[in-house]
Amino acid sequence: MLRVSLLLAAIVLPAAPAAAADCKLGVLADLPVTMQNMRVSVPVKINDIETRLWLDSGAFFSVMPKAKAIELGLKIGAAPFGLRLIGIGGDSSTDLVTIKKFGIADRALTNVQFLVGGSDVGNGLIGRNLLALADTEFDLAGGSVKLIQPHDCKNMAIAYWAAGKPFFTAALEQEENPNNRKFRVTVRINGAAIDGEYDSGAPNTLLSRHAAEKAGIALSGPGVTPIRGIGGFGRRSTPGWTVPVESVAIGDETILKTRLDVIDGPISASNTAPDMLIGADYMLAHHIYVARSQHRIYFTYSGGKAFRTIGAVPVSAAPGALLPADIQRVAPVTDTTTPKTADEFARRASARMAQHAVADAIADLTQAITLAPNTADYYRDRALAYQIAGQRGLARTDIERALQLAPSDGALLRIRAILRLRERDRTGALADADAAARATPATSLDMVPIANLLARLDQPARGIALLGPVIASHTEDSALPRLLNARCWLRAQAGLDLDAALDDCNRALKRAGKQPMFLDSRGLVQLRKGDPAAAIADYDAALALNPKLAWSLYGRGLAKIALGQKDAGEADKWAAIAIYPEIVEEAKRFHVIP
């Protein structure tokens, strides 16, 4: 277990008239967090390797995927007998690593243990064995998560940052096993009581099907949008829906007319799983203090959307709609302190990007660059912001500057390779793709877009070879079907090792069911193997699920022509060209057509 005991600073709250002493909040650790999309990221040092991990208040123990452990050169050993990871998508076997030197928040810890296993969500996760050591303050918009030890605060309202402005409270639900130290709270969805848990590791808030039905939500009703797959630690992805919700109440805060994601089943197979994960979307929009010492949660609204969804565009309430008599609008409580350092500006920029405040994020990153002009990450982040803002020239300039400062950064090289390919600089794009492959860990999921790049640059065999180690290290992963399909598709496009391609596609379909992209890939394999009837069967099945798949239309057209159905085949080909005009050039490049 991680233990942090040094008092770094103290926050003093004024005492109530009857109090014998001032309430003091001893800051044990202040974790500087950056939002990587909707992931809460913190810098760490693992055996002298600087990297970043994500904070996951929903994980009972810190965990990392096997690929991350391999990347960091950690020795993987056996976990306690019978221990399994349970999460969204099922359960998983687990191993264990012990990190001899672990640096976080200027603290040097020794012999820190992480479980190893589960699906690769993209990084290692720091769980409640650190985040719930004491009171926990989540200020994601402010770029900080603090571990706090309160002194003489039993009867105090610990919303010190509100400074006289309205704040909310909720009861921190008690666990039968106090060692679990979960962030549990009762949530009322459309008035129905739901067992919720603050989970910073979940990008979006998520309801179980049981919770949705308990709240009277019609999963086939108006405004409901299907979701193809929701995944987590387990090996499977589960379908779900995005649904309209009349009200969500946590403590004395109520959010009206919103939308939430619902998974078709329980959150996990554990009998102690919550029915709602309150994700990073909600936590980013709020400043939250979890007072374990008081069994209470204090929070304020910081601004932005409280809930994001995988599915459709939110349906908003009518402008000027009257609020219920017992509900009043509350203005955001924002931190008016101006950042002073480059890191503080960059962290605030990441939160603003996650909230889609792109112009403000660019302004913050410009300040960060002014203060620290030789930091590649700031140019990279501003380039991505410029790209979203449609300022491609400025984005390109920042990428070049970032690569001058960090010439062996795999992610930057991959980005520039894509940009050069768009600019029709195939020689430069290939050089960058090669360099990105050398700079990227062989087992990383980041290798997949590099493999696809190499295929687009007429190097399919090299791309296929890159996928081998990635697949081998993700055999129990929910990403495995997608990885197998990626290799199947590259083999099919290039006409290489078609029997192995068919095996890849069959394995992907067996694991994940009838996914249109997987059927599309197998259709091309069948076409190239000289079985147009089998190809048409797969293409028909794919197009029944997604009528806009250009390659399925084009491939079906070729298969029909091969069977003598020229008019029907030409119609399919023209329909494909209307969707994706470059498909003829692509088909010629891969010798699918002369």
- 334 closest CA partner among 546, 573, 165: 165
Same domain membership, residue 305 and residue 172: yes
- Nearest by Cα to 555 from 589, 580, 527, 519: 527
Q: Which of 406, 431, 457 is the endpoint of a domain?
A: 406
Of 117, 148, 179, the last residue of a domain is 148
CATH number of the domain where residue 357 is located: 1.25.40.10
> For residue range 309-329, what is the model confidence (pLDDT) as tens digits?
876 444 443 344 555 666 666
Domain annotation covers residue 101: yes
Pairing of β 206-208 and β 253-263 = parallel
Query: Quick one: 169 and 260 in the same domain?
Result: yes
* Residue 570, phi then psi, degrees to nearest 5: -65, -35
Are 60 and 178 in the same domain?
no
Same domain, 289 and 352: no
Residue 472 lies in a domain: no
In degrees, rounded to 5, the angle at the alpha carbon of residue 171 between the alpha carbons of residues 316 and 14 is: 105
Cβ 306 vs Cβ 281: under 8 Å: yes
At 11, the pLDDT band (50, 70, 90 cuts) reads low
**For residues 353 and 330, what is the distance between their CA atoms, to the nearest angstrom?**
23
Q: Are residues 229 and 291 located together in one domain of the fold?
A: yes
Answer yes or no: do 95 and 243 share one domain: no
Q: How many domains does the chain have?
A: 4
Say if residue 115's pLDDT is above 80.
yes
Residue 88 pLDDT more than 70? no
Does residue 402 share a domain with residue 266?
A: no
**Pair 134, 175 in one domain:** no
Q: Does residue 213 share a domain with residue 168?
A: yes
Residues 383 and 279 in one domain: no
Tell me, yes or no, whether 153 lies in a domain: no
Q: Which of 126, 148, 170 is the last residue of a domain?
A: 148
| Structural domain boundaries, residue 47 | 24-148
pLDDT in tens, 493-537: 999 999 999 999 999 999 988 999 999 999 999 999 999 999 999
Same structural domain, 170 and 144: no
| 92 vs 517: CA distance, rounded Å | 26
Q: Give the residue from 546, 547, 576, 548 showing the smallest Cα distance to 561.
A: 576
Mean pLDDT of 394-419: 96
Return the minimum-mean-pLDDT range out of 267-271, 378-382, 421-425, 544-548: 267-271
Q: Are residues 141 and 169 in the same domain?
A: no
350 domain-assigned: yes
In a domain, 478, yes or no: no
Tell me: the pLDDT tens digits for 144-173?
A: 999 999 998 888 889 999 887 889 999 998
The enclosing domain of 99 has a CATH number of 2.40.70.10
How much is the pTM? Answer: 0.85
From the number of C-beta atoms within 10 Å of its C-beta (0-12, 13-18, 19+), residue 75 rates as exposed
Contact 479, 485 (CB under 8 A): no
